[in-house]
A and B are shown apart, each in its own frame.
Chain A
Amino acid sequence: SVNNNNNMFSSNTARGLLRTSILHRCKSTLVVAEHNNEVLNPATLNTIAAAKKIGGDVTVLVAGTKCGPASEAVAKVEGVAKVLVAENEAFKGFTAESLTPLVVAAQNQFKFTHILAGATAFGKNVLPRVAAKLDVSPISEIIDVKSEDTFVRTIYAGNAILTLRSKDPVKVITVRATNFAPAAASGGSGAIEQAPAGDYAQSLTEFVSQELTKSDRPELTSAKVIISGGRGLKSGDNFKMLYDLADKFGAAVGASRAAVDAGYVPNDLQIGQTGKIVAPDLYVAVGISGAIQHLAGMKDSKTIVAINKDPEAPIFQVADIGLVADLFKAVPELTGKL
Chain B
Amino acid sequence: QVPFRKVTWKMSRVLVGVKRVVDYAVKVRVNPEKTGVVTQGVKHSMNPFDEIAVEEAVKMKEKKLATEVVAVSIGPTQSQEVIRTALAMGADRGIHVEISGKDYDLLQPIHVSKILAKLALDEKADLVILGKQAIDDDCNQTAQMTAAALDWPQGTFCNKIEKTGDGLTIVREIDGGLETIKTKTPAVLSADLRLNTPRYATLPNIMKAKKKPLKKMSAGDLGVDTTPRIEVISVEDPPVRKAGAVVPDVDTLVSKLKEGGHC
Q: Closest Cβ of chain A: how far from B127's Cβ, in Å?
A: 14
Q: Closest Cβ of chain B: how far from A101's Cβ, in Å?
A: 11
> A205 to B153, Cβ gap below 8 A?
yes
> A167 to B263, Cβ gap below 8 A?
no
In the docked arrangement, what's the CA distance between A142 and B63, Å?
A: 41
> A205 to B182, Cβ gap below 8 A?
yes
- Asked whether A29 is an interface residue with its Cβ less than 8 Å from the other chain, the reply is no
Q: Closest Cβ of chain A: how far from B34's Cβ, in Å?
A: 10
On whether A210 and B169 interact (CB within 8 A), knowing A160-B236, A274-B193, the answer reads no
> B179 to A158, Cβ gap below 8 A?
no
- The chain A residue sitting closest to B171, CB to CB, is A211
- Asked whether B241 is an interface residue with its Cβ less than 8 Å from the other chain, the reply is yes
When each residue 249-282 of chain A gets 1 if its CB lies under 8 Å from chain B and 0 otherwise, what string results? 1000000010011000011100001101000011
- Chain A positions within 8 Å of B169 at CB level: 208
In the docked arrangement, what's the CA distance between A62 and B262, Å?
A: 37
> A319 to B244, Cβ gap below 8 A?
yes
In the docked arrangement, what's the CA distance between A101 and B79, Å?
A: 35
> B238 to A160, Cβ gap below 8 A?
yes
> B173 to A168, Cβ gap below 8 A?
no
- Asked whether B93 is an interface residue with its Cβ less than 8 Å from the other chain, the reply is no
Q: Closest Cβ of chain A: how far from B96's Cβ, in Å?
A: 23
> A210 to B177, Cβ gap below 8 A?
yes
In the docked arrangement, what's the CA distance between A338 and B253, Å?
A: 10
> A164 to B233, Cβ gap below 8 A?
yes
- Asked whether A203 is an interface residue with its Cβ less than 8 Å from the other chain, the reply is yes
Q: Pick the contact of B37 from A139, A160, A266 — CB < 8 Å?
A: A160
In the docked arrangement, what's the CA distance between A207 and B109, Å?
A: 26
- The chain A residue sitting closest to B147, CB to CB, is A129
- Asked whether B99 is an interface residue with its Cβ less than 8 Å from the other chain, the reply is no
> A122 to B175, Cβ gap below 8 A?
yes
- Asked whether A322 is an interface residue with its Cβ less than 8 Å from the other chain, the reply is yes
> A161 to B238, Cβ gap below 8 A?
yes
Q: Pick the contact of A155 from B132, B228, B235 — CB < 8 Å?
A: B235
> B110 to A137, Cβ gap below 8 A?
yes
Q: Closest Cβ of chain B: how far from A119's Cβ, in Å?
A: 9
Q: Pick the contact of B241 from A122, A157, A299 — CB < 8 Å?
A: A299
Q: Closest Cβ of chain A: how far from B229's Cβ, in Å?
A: 4
* B8-28 at interface with A (beta carbon < 8 Å): 22, 24-25, 27-28
- Asked whether B148 is an interface residue with its Cβ less than 8 Å from the other chain, the reply is yes
Segment with Cβ contacts to B, from A18-26, A64-72, A185-193, A323-331: A323-331
- Chain B positions within 8 Å of A167 at CB level: 228-231
> A210 to B250, Cβ gap below 8 A?
no
In the docked arrangement, what's the CA distance between A335 and B14, Å?
A: 52
Most buried by B among A141, A221, A248, A303: A303
Most buried by B among A140, A204, A316: A204
- Chain A positions within 8 Å of B157 at CB level: 121, 125
Segment with Cβ contacts to A, from B66-74, B137-145, B202-210, B214-222: B137-145
- Asked whether A321 is an interface residue with its Cβ less than 8 Å from the other chain, the reply is yes
On whether A132 and B235 interact (CB within 8 A), knowing A141-B138, A156-B138, the answer reads no
* B143-182 at interface with A (beta carbon < 8 Å): 144-149, 152-157, 159, 169, 172-182
> A140 to B140, Cβ gap below 8 A?
yes
- The chain A residue sitting closest to B114, CB to CB, is A132
Q: Closest Cβ of chain B: how far from A152's Cβ, in Å?
A: 9
Classify the secondary structure of A's interface with B.
mixed
- The chain A residue sitting closest to B234, CB to CB, is A163
When each residue 295-338 of chain A gets 1 if its CB lies under 8 Å from chain B and 0 otherwise, what string results? 00001000111000001000011111111110000100110011
On whether A268 and B153 interact (CB within 8 A), knowing A129-B148, A303-B262, the answer reads no
> B238 to A158, Cβ gap below 8 A?
yes
In the docked arrangement, what's the CA distance between A155 and B35, Å?
A: 13
When each residue 234-248 of chain B gets 1 if its CB lies under 8 Å from chain A and 0 otherwise, what string results? 111110011111110
Segment with Cβ contacts to B, from A50-58, A73-81, A91-99, A229-237: A91-99
> B173 to A267, Cβ gap below 8 A?
yes
> B110 to A136, Cβ gap below 8 A?
yes
- Asked whether B254 is an interface residue with its Cβ less than 8 Å from the other chain, the reply is yes
- Asked whether B64 is an interface residue with its Cβ less than 8 Å from the other chain, the reply is no
- Asked whether B133 is an interface residue with its Cβ less than 8 Å from the other chain, the reply is yes
> B144 to A125, Cβ gap below 8 A?
yes
When each residue 127-158 of chain A gets 1 if its CB lies under 8 Å from chain B and 0 otherwise, what string results? 11111110111111100001000100111111
In the docked arrangement, what's the CA distance between A221 and B175, Å?
A: 10
Most buried by A among B147, B155, B254, B256: B147
- Chain A positions within 8 Å of B256 at CB level: 321
> A95 to B181, Cβ gap below 8 A?
yes
Q: Closest Cβ of chain B: how far from A231's Cβ, in Å?
A: 15
On whether A131 and B235 interact (CB within 8 A), knowing A159-B28, A206-B181, the answer reads no
A-B contacts, 14 listed (Cβ < 8 Å): A124-B140, A129-B154, A137-B230, A155-B136, A155-B138, A155-B235, A156-B136, A161-B237, A163-B235, A205-B181, A205-B182, A206-B182, A213-B177, A304-B244
Since A93-B181, A213-B177 are in contact, a sample of 11 more A-B pairs with Cβ atoms closer than 8 Å, ordered by chain A residue number, is A96-B156, A125-B156, A156-B138, A157-B135, A157-B138, A163-B232, A208-B181, A210-B180, A260-B194, A267-B159, A323-B250
Chain B positions near chain A (C-beta within 8 angstroms): 22, 24-25, 27-28, 30, 37, 49, 108-110, 113, 132-133, 135-142, 144-149, 152-157, 159, 169, 172-184, 187, 192-194, 228-238, 241-247, 249-251, 253-254, 256-257, 260, 262-263
Give me the 10 closest cross-chain CB pairs, A-B, nearest first: A132-B148, A128-B144, A137-B229, A204-B153, A320-B244, A132-B145, A128-B141, A163-B233, A208-B180, A212-B176
